[in-house]
């Protein structure tokens, strides 16, 4: 059962760079989530904003809470999950929606591109049926209009008019991911959620899909939340980036600033462990230790046991997010972020 905590000025923040009273495509504030049988919150005070026409990357290790954050936007949550805070999509709070409002959200306002298209598309139905089913069943479009829209979007993602008559098994992984993107755009969403959409693709196809997402975002003015563990990809595609660790936002800011001048030891460690073509030969760099145990209540900074800069303060007091000197949009939740200011990243 969801519980919603109200906050001061509980109106959506404007999109970055947008008009003052324009709601952001996505505005998450103080989001907390508990799953059954976990002692600590799996999401703990998450704040995140995506503006209209903006691409925002959400990065971090596996298990950091990236996918749960994105799925909360559509309220696709495991049974028994409890949430606090607010999740506004185009000005409407998802966590207080009834069933009818949720259907409208999932078919018109927000859409998700899942990681594995073969797992999301029924192999026994033709591609055309998959693309048009949702808008037809929810009476958003007539069958003829839905078919026409599907044809337009397939052309936009670089597929031919023969594709609607084919079955998923007759298409490559890259083609199926393009079908997933077209399906997500069928209802003209304000917000597009991409959960590791290129992980199952080869490098060439990955580059094509990333370029396609950028082009579609520009054409349709859709806000894009891009969930990935690939820091190089995040740097290439995003306007802003959020670095997540143990269900909390460790660092956020313009992508160029975060990757060039990381202010949180976790971000720096991620960048150091990213292999590059110009890296000297030898063993790959790894982050020592393990993420926090969900069975234990956290104290202090969750990254402290793995951090070379940790002090006693880090083990007892949770750090607040603080802006960098001269860069108010670049913040980090670290007691000792000043030690890293000006330190270049290695990605």
Return the pLDDT at 169. 93
* 161 Cβ contact partners less than 8 Å away, ≥ 6 residues apart: 151, 154, 155
Q: What average pLDDT does the segment 281-289 reach?
A: 80
Q: Identify each DSSP E strand in the chain by its residue range.
A: 26-34, 43-50, 55-59, 82-89, 92-93, 110-113, 191-195, 223-228, 240-245, 248-254, 321-324, 327-333
Q: How many helices (H) and strands (E) does the chain have?
A: 11, 12
* Cα dist from 90 to 33, 110, 178, 244, whole Å: 22, 9, 25, 23
Statement: the pTM of the whole predicted model exceeds 0.75: yes
The three-class DSSP label of residue 97 is: coil
CA-angle at 196, arms to 158 and 119, nearest 5°: 75
Q: What average pLDDT does the segment 80-99 reach?
A: 95
Check pLDDT > 50 for residue 347: no
Return the pLDDT at 18. 46
116-147 pLDDT per residue, tens:
888 889 999 999 999 999 888 877 889 999 99
Q: What percent of the chain has pLDDT over 70?
A: 90
CA distance 217 to 133: 23
Pairing of strands 26-34, 43-50: antiparallel
Return the pLDDT at 70. 96
Q: Which domains does the chain have, with CATH numbers?
A: 26-295+303-339 (3.40.50.300)
Q: What average pLDDT does the segment 212-222 reach?
A: 81
29-71 pLDDT per residue, tens:
999 999 988 878 999 999 999 999 999 999 999 889 999 999 9
161-196 pLDDT per residue, tens:
899 999 999 998 889 988 998 898 888 899 999 998
CA distance 24 to 223: 9
Q: What share of the chain is helix, strand, coil (3-state, %, to 5)?
A: 35, 20, 45
CA distance 127 to 218: 26
Q: What percent of the chain has pLDDT over 90?
A: 51
Alpha carbon 178 to its chain's center: 18
Return the pLDDT at 314. 94
CA distance 239 to 231: 13
Return the pLDDT at 160. 86
Check pLDDT > 70 for residue 264: yes
Task: Calculate the dihedral angle through the C-alpha atoms of 273, 44, 75, 124, rounding to the nearest 10 degrees.
Answer: 30
292-337 pLDDT per residue, tens:
887 787 789 999 999 988 999 999 999 999 998 888 999 999 999 8
Q: How confident is the model at residue 11 (pLDDT cuts 50, 70, 90)?
A: very low
Check pLDDT > 80 for residue 6: no
Nearest Cα neighbor of 263 from 328, 308, 324 is 324
DSSP-assigned letters across all residues of 114-162: -S-HHHHS-TTS-HHHHHHHHHHHTTSS-HHHHHHHHHHHHHHTT--TT
Return the pLDDT at 12. 43
Residue 253: left if φ>0, alpha if ψ -120 to 50, beta else—which one? left
Q: How confident is the model at residue 279 (pLDDT cuts 50, 70, 90)?
A: low
Return the pLDDT at 213. 82
32-42 pLDDT per residue, tens:
999 988 878 99
**What tokens appear for 8 in the block?**
């001061």
């Amino acid at each position: 059962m969801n519980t919603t905590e109200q906050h001061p000025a509980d109106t959506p923040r404007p999109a970055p760079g947008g008009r003052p009273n324009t709601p952001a495509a996505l505005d998450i504030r103080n989001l907390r989530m508990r799953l059954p049988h976990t002692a600590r919150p799996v999401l703990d005070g998450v704040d995140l904003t995506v503006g209209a026409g903006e691409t925002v990357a959400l990065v971090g290790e596996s298990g950091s809470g990236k996918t749960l954050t994105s799925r909360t936007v559509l309220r696709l949550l495991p049974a028994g999950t409890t949430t606090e805070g607010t999740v506004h999509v185009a000005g409407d709070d998802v966590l207080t929606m009834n069933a009818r409002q949720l259907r409208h959200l999932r078919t018109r306002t927000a859409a998700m591109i899942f990681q594995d298209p073969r797992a999301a598309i029924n192999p026994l139905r033709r591609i055309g049926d998959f693309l048009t089913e949702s808008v037809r069943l929810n009476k958003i479009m007539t069958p003829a209009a839905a078919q026409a829209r599907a044809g337009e979007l397939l052309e936009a993602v670089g597929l031919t008019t023969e594709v609607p008559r084919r079955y998923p098994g007759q298409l490559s992984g890259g083609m199926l991911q393009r079908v997933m993107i077209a399906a997500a755009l069928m209802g003209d969403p304000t917000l597009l959620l991409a959960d590791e959409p290129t992980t199952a693709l080869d490098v060439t196809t990955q580059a094509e899909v990333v370029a396609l997402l950028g082009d579609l975002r520009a054409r349709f003015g859709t806000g894009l939340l891009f969930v990935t563990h690939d820091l190089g990809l995040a740097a290439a595609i995003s306007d802003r980036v959020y670095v997540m660790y143990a269900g909390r936002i460790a660092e956020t800011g313009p992508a160029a600033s975060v990757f060039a001048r990381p202010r949180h030891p976790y971000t720096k460690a991620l960048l150091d462990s990213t292999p590059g073509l110009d890296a000297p030969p030898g063993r790959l760099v790894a982050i020592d230790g393990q993420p926090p145990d969900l069975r234990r209540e956290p104290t202090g900074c969750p990254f402290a046991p793995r951090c070379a800069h940790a002090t006693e303060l880090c083990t007892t007091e949770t750090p607040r997010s603080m802006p960098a000197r001269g860069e108010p949009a670049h913040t980090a939740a670290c007691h000792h972020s000043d030690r890293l200011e000006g330190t270049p990243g290695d990605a």
